[in-house]
A and B are shown apart, each in its own frame.
Chain A
Amino acid sequence: MSAATTSFARRGVLGRLSALAAARETGIFLALVLVLVVTTAKSPSFLFSADGFRDLLLTPSTLVLIAVGQAIVIITRNVDLSVGSIIGLTAYLTGVLFKYNPGLPIPVVMLLAVLFGAGLGLVNGVLVSVAKVPSLVITLGTLYAYRGINVVWTGSNRINASDMPRDFLAIGTAKLWVLPVITLIAVVVLVIAALVLRSSRSGRELYAIGSDPDAAHLYGLKVGRRVLWAFVASGTLAGLAGVLYTARYGTVDSQAGYGLELQAVGAAVIGGVAIFGGSGSVGGAALGAVLLLTINRALPVLGIPDFWQGAVVGVLIIAAIILDRLLALRQARKLTVMEDSAA
């Protein structure tokens, strides 16, 4: 028996298993490559031009940030629908701070806006974990509440590029070698989040909580506190996205970030984050975000009318969910075969 038990080699079976787990990320990546190849074949400037290459990396960067935050929340079997509105508020705050306090150093303004986003996330987290109301309802509420505050605060005002320091706006276009700075920020955030979720005890607890909240409670995990921090993380990343939005576009009105929350949820689902929590990765969600926006840019190039874009995104989401289901079934069958043959 003992000899048989240790025969579960790390390579071989494990290798195949991890390959299967990775299949989702690789699948998304291949889909992305396919879109790029087809579109570039039709119109080489889609990739092989300074603008094309920049857009490929820059366009999805904001969405990557909030998709990472969204993935963290969804993994705990919650959802954060307020991120679009948080972007709106933090973007406007950034502009207002620059406009009315010209003396404030740029990093201080950025930090304040990100902290403001964290605070808005904290409100979500407290309401969800203390009031024990489903997050779908809470964040649907704060989606409208935050946006409402934004509209009252902004009115018909608009922050323009001329209101903000040139050095701040430069962040939106700056490059390090060929890589846009905003993209680099998104990548750094992604790597940190991936490390925490994969290799820290608290990160793994997020998966446990999402996999079975009741069992997590019985097990003695601090469910409320972890969920609260997941919402703070999502709010913080939305705050960062709001700051970068302002730097990149240079104008902010009361509608900044409108509707981005559903794109973030879509990106996470396409990227293999299970909507009922417990599985998925931030890397997948980030790839999902890139794929989503790249397809959106590719469709006009391929001559597909604008109004088909929504439908394509919908098909993508549904296809992603069906794929998940099939993969889960295949994995279950494989495991059974494996243990039977080993027995």
Chain B
Amino acid sequence: MPDDIPPAAPATGSTPSAGAPSGAAASTAPAAPSAPAALELRDISKAFGQVIALRSGTLRLESGSIHALIGENGAGKSTLVKIIAGLYQRDAGEFLLGGESVDFRSTAESKAAGIAVIYQEPTLFPDLSVTENIFMGRQPLKGLRRIDRAAMREQALGLFQRLGVRIHPDRPARGLSIADQQIIEIAKAISLDARVLVMDEPTAALSGVEVDRLFAVARALRDEGRALLFISHRFDEVFALCDTVTVMRDGAYIATQPIAETDTAKLVRQMVGRDVAELFPKQEAVIGDELLRVEGLTSPLFADVDLSVRSGEIVGLAGLVGAGRSEVVRAVFGVDRYDSGTVTVEGRALAPHDPTAAMRAGLALVPEDRRAQGLVLGTTVARNLTMAIRSKLTKAGILTRAAENQAARVWASRLEVKSSALDAEVGTFSGGNQQKVVLAKWLATNPKVLIVDEPTRGIDVGTKSEVHRLLSELAGQGLGILMISSELPEVLGMADRVIVMREGRVTAELSRADANPESVMSAATGAGAAA
């Protein structure tokens, strides 16, 4: 495990050293000009119960400029956006709009103040016409406060013309492509005459032509003097479009710099340069025969995916959210269909789209959203633990509570699930204990290959290390483990081998020795040349 971060070329004085407190980075913030910024956030913090989502959010948007905000998953970008939108309220810090302090209690208030936010998932009303979607709540009126439909339609046509798109003003929003939905959102923002326009990963689902169109619109808006905030994982887009870039990491501000004075290597370094000593390195295990082999797996969501897992090995599947990792494992396990490719377990081909066959062959999948997909929250620990082996426990079609409890007790003790009573409802458990119950449920099927999707998401640090220790032990016992994780330290600390995906394709396969924050992030973001 490389504890030190290899310096990425070219090293610069403005980058804080790895693990330095965020305050040290303030030196790179632009010197305050005389005119107030269009929008300024200073040391904003936000916590949800025990979880601190944002430690010190700092951001300064200038009018007539496009500003990029980048950072790893979980760096606090989305929380920052939601505070700007008025969806969340900050715990501490300053929020200035045009130099004046503001306190938004709702999205309506931020909108009235001239802020438009375009979320990752456009939020349109599918049954209403695109025109109504644009003007909802602000429709032009005629006598008796009646909506002037003709005027509204004219204005919508004017907006579409300005944006250079052809969308029928009377068509319902249902069925619009993501790109067109975003255009509607932008039309909304323009009709609001928003001074500040925030776009949260707007290009994630767009094709090249659509991205070009979006950028043309963004530049036109900039030239009109609006301030734009552009959140993206794609470096090429950041460099092509933006004037300034702010990097966040672990809920804290790291640095702001003009785009001309930085490069991908520097940005990657700022994004990942963290203290990696907090990890829980995997125990050495004897790596044995190949258990799982996936070749050329292709579906509309991913293409040509090859991977393999050996006995005793932990394979990390890294990449950004939306890279298609969960989709791949769902296809491997037979939950989703795939178009071509093969999945073999211990040399035997697995029938596609048949989770029961996958379980019989020795695969187990612990899904990402344990609350929605892994657990039945309203029922007891015992019932959840034995859910995947019910048919084994059933005698003559009858499942007795005694049989359930007996099987469950074995697993609860092995995983140290803190539950004195197996009759307790799972929904009352902490995230960490819930995750252990899900793990136990699948381990009870006696799998050969365990696929875990984000095994420690939303779990506190203490339980996290327990989950890591558990996975490590299981590998030691000869299980093959395929672990999807968006947390770099987890991947680097646990995995014997790291497979990186980007936009539905495998972009790198790195041995433990070659895997470091830069090499993984470069492959995940497509900043290939920089690493």
Q: Is the CB of B136 within 8 A of A5?
A: no
Q: Considering the complex, which residues of chain A in the window 123-165 have a beta carbon less than 8 Å from any beta carbon of chain B?
A: none
| Assembled-state Cα–Cα distance A279/B129 (Å) | 11
Q: Is the CB of B124 within 8 A of A221?
A: no
A3-36 interface bits toward B, Cβ cutoff 8 Å, 1 = contact, 0 = none: 0111010100110010000000000000000000
Q: Is the CB of A335 within 8 A of B107?
A: no
Q: Which residue of B lies closest to A279 (CB)?
A: B127
Q: Is the CB of B111 within 8 A of A220?
A: yes
Q: Is the CB of A274 within 8 A of B123?
A: no
CB neighbours (8 Å) of A212 from chain B are 123-126
CB neighbours (8 Å) of B128 from chain A are 204, 207-208, 211, 278
A101-139 interface bits toward B, Cβ cutoff 8 Å, 1 = contact, 0 = none: 000000000000000000000000000000000000000
Q: Is the CB of B168 within 8 A of A6?
A: no
Q: Which residue of B lies closest to A209 (CB)?
A: B125
Q: Is the CB of B126 within 8 A of A278?
A: yes
| Assembled-state Cα–Cα distance A335/B173 (Å) | 11
Q: Is the CB of A4 within 8 A of B166?
A: yes
Surface stretch bound by A, among B157-165, B496-504, B511-519: B157-165
CB neighbours (8 Å) of A278 from chain B are 125-128
B473-511 interface bits toward A, Cβ cutoff 8 Å, 1 = contact, 0 = none: 000000000000000000000000000000000000000
Q: Is the CB of A10 within 8 A of B153?
A: yes
- Nearest chain A CB to B416's CB is how many angstroms away? 37
Q: Would you call B147 an interface residue if the criterion is a C-beta within 8 Å of the partner chain's C-beta atoms?
A: yes
CB contact under 8 A between A8 and B157, given known A14-B170, A201-B139, A343-B166: yes
Q: Is the CB of A339 within 8 A of B167?
A: yes
Q: Would you call B454 an interface residue if the criterion is a C-beta within 8 Å of the partner chain's C-beta atoms?
A: no
Q: Number of B interface residues, CB 8 Å?
A: 41
Q: Is the CB of A5 within 8 A of B125?
A: no
| Assembled-state Cα–Cα distance A136/B496 (Å) | 53
Q: Is the CB of A211 within 8 A of B126?
A: yes
- Nearest chain A CB to B173's CB is how many angstroms away? 8
CB neighbours (8 Å) of B170 from chain A are 8, 13-14, 17
A176-195 interface bits toward B, Cβ cutoff 8 Å, 1 = contact, 0 = none: 00000000000000000001
Partner of A214, one of B123, B127, B169: B123
CB contact under 8 A between A332 and B161, given known A199-B146, A200-B147, A339-B166: no
Q: Is the CB of B164 within 8 A of A1?
A: yes
CB contact under 8 A between A211 and B125, given known A199-B147, A200-B147, A204-B136: yes
B253-284 interface bits toward A, Cβ cutoff 8 Å, 1 = contact, 0 = none: 00000000000000000000000000000000
Q: Is the CB of A6 within 8 A of B161?
A: yes
Q: Would you call A205 an interface residue if the criterion is a C-beta within 8 Å of the partner chain's C-beta atoms?
A: yes
Q: Considering the complex, which residues of chain B in the window 99-138 have a beta carbon less than 8 Å from any beta carbon of chain A?
A: 106-111, 119, 123-128, 132, 136-138
CB neighbours (8 Å) of A210 from chain B are 127
CB neighbours (8 Å) of B125 from chain A are 207-208, 211-212, 215-216, 278
CB contact under 8 A between A5 and B175, given known A211-B128, A212-B126, A218-B107: no
Q: Would you call B171 an interface residue if the criterion is a C-beta within 8 Å of the partner chain's C-beta atoms?
A: yes
CB neighbours (8 Å) of B160 from chain A are 5
CB contact under 8 A between A219 and B107, given known A6-B161, A279-B127: yes
- Nearest chain B CB to A284's CB is how many angstroms away? 14
- Nearest chain B CB to A272's CB is how many angstroms away? 12
Q: Would you call B87 an interface residue if the criterion is a C-beta within 8 Å of the partner chain's C-beta atoms?
A: yes
Q: Would you call A342 an interface residue if the criterion is a C-beta within 8 Å of the partner chain's C-beta atoms?
A: yes
Q: Is the CB of B107 within 8 A of A220?
A: yes
CB contact under 8 A between A221 and B136, given known A8-B157, A212-B125, A332-B175: yes
Q: Would you call B392 an interface residue if the criterion is a C-beta within 8 Å of the partner chain's C-beta atoms?
A: no
Q: Which residue of A lies closest to B82 (CB)?
A: A218
Q: Is the CB of B123 within 8 A of A1?
A: no
Q: Is the CB of A208 within 8 A of B169?
A: no
Q: Which residue of A lies closest to B153 (CB)?
A: A10
Q: Is the CB of A2 within 8 A of B123?
A: no
| Assembled-state Cα–Cα distance A332/B174 (Å) | 9
CB contact under 8 A between A205 and B137, given known A215-B123, A218-B107, A278-B125: yes
Partner of B127, one of A195, A274, A332, A335: A274
CB neighbours (8 Å) of B414 from chain A are none
Q: Would you call B401 an interface residue if the criterion is a C-beta within 8 Å of the partner chain's C-beta atoms?
A: no
Q: Is the CB of A335 within 8 A of B175?
A: yes
- Nearest chain B CB to A122's CB is how many angstroms away? 24
Q: Is the CB of A219 within 8 A of B153?
A: no
A sample of 15 cross-chain residue pairs with beta-carbon separation below 8 angstroms, ordered by A number, consists of A8-B168, A13-B170, A17-B170, A201-B145, A201-B147, A207-B125, A208-B132, A210-B127, A215-B123, A215-B124, A216-B125, A220-B110, A274-B127, A332-B174, A335-B172
Residues of A bordering B, CB below 8 Å: 1-2, 4-6, 8, 10, 13-14, 17, 195, 199-201, 204-205, 207-208, 210-212, 214-222, 274, 277-279, 331-332, 335-336, 338-339, 342-343
